[in-house]
Amino acid sequence: MKNKNKRYLFPAGMIISFFLDGTIQFIFTPQLQSQTTIMVSHLLLLWLIMGIFYSDNKHLELWAFGIGLAFDSYYTGILGVYMILLPLIVYLTKIAYQYFEPSFFVLLLIYFIDLTVLEVSYYAINEMIGFANESVTTFISTSFGPTLAFNLVLFVILYYPISKLMESVNRYN
């Protein structure tokens, strides 16, 4: 029974971080979005990346696909953006995983690269369909830079709790 319950940690955490992203954005709007800086929380991506290294979940691309589809449908209404970006990032990170031993600094760098891929391609898609209306330079200075900084701080704070939590679940399986 105990083992069975522990299998649900990964999906449960994923769903909670999915909702927390929106709730953080909503509650802290005055702090996160000012005239010169826009910070966006990416806890969902953080949970997925930690899942690759510390959980023994085998079907991460499928989970990423499902939660990405839900994200598109519930938050933006434009299907097909996170639906493809999240599984692709998970797939590429899994390849990188083969060459590294998981440690704090390795994950920090990999998370940095993943955030860059996600933010830049999300911006490119939105620019393509006419939803984002800013130049590349304003994107980098107002949105991209602050978002990276904010999420790396979140990573530093959350790395140990999440990795310990995921490892404690794996040991008994």
Partner 1 sequence: MQKFFSNRRLIIILIAIIVSFSLISFSVSVRNKKSTPPLIQEFGNDVVGLFDRAVSYPANGLKSSVVGISDLLNTYQENQKLKKQVDKLAQVQVESDTVKNENKQLKKELKLNSTLTDYTSINASVLTRLPSGWLNQLVISKGSASGVKKNAPVMAGSGLIGRVIEVNKTNSKVELISTTNDSANRFAVQVTNSDGDIVNGLITGYDKTDNLLIMGQITSKKSLKKGDAVVTSGLGGTTPKGLNIGDVSKIEKGDYGLASKIYIKPAADLSDLTVVTIAQTLN
Q: Contact positions toward partner 1, by CB under 8 A? A: 15-16, 19-27, 29-30, 33, 35-36, 38, 40-42, 70, 72-81, 83-84, 87-88, 91, 95, 122, 125-126, 129-134, 139, 142-143, 147
Nearer to partner 1, 126 or 163 (CB): 126
The CB-of-20 to partner 1 minimum distance in angstroms stands at: 7
106 with 55: CB under 8 angstroms?
A: no
CA distances from 43 to 80, 88, 93 (A): 20, 17, 16
The CB-of-113 to partner 1 minimum distance in angstroms stands at: 16
The CB-of-22 to partner 1 minimum distance in angstroms stands at: 3
Which residue in 173, 171, 166, 167 sits closest to 11, CA to CA? 166
The CB-of-156 to partner 1 minimum distance in angstroms stands at: 20
Nearer to partner 1, 51 or 146 (CB): 146
